[in-house]
Amino acid sequence: MPLITVSMFPGRSDEQKATLVRLLTDVFLKCCGGNWDGVWVMLEEISKQHWAFGGKLRSDPDAKPAEYSQGK
């Protein structure tokens, strides 16, 4: 049984999460086959204090968003 794991910042509504789970499951089944009950999706909400890019915590006020997208 496949397990799809999504790590993301908190803040999405239950409706957004339900849509994401449904769409991920649908795409997996179209690509790889199987049945709806056989695909598991796990959503992990990770706070910005526990997420880092380029050696800086995402919660760091000195970190600029462009630094993350440019890999600096």
pLDDT digits (tens, 9 = 90+) for 16-38: 999 999 999 999 999 999 999 99
Q: Which domain holds residue 9?
A: 3-69
List active site positions: 2
Over residues 32-55, the mean pLDDT reads 93
Domain count, the chain: 1
- What is the phi/psi pair of residue 60, to 5°? -65, 120
d(CA 71, CA 67): 6
Q: pTM of the full predicted structure?
A: 0.76
Tokens of 3: 């397990």
3-state DSSP assignment of residue 31: helix
Q: What pLDDT is recorded for position 12?
A: 97
3-state DSSP assignment of residue 62: coil
CATH code, 16? 3.30.429.10
Q: Is it the case that residue 69 has pLDDT exceeding 60?
A: no
Q: How confident is the model at residue 71 (pLDDT cuts 50, 70, 90)?
A: very low
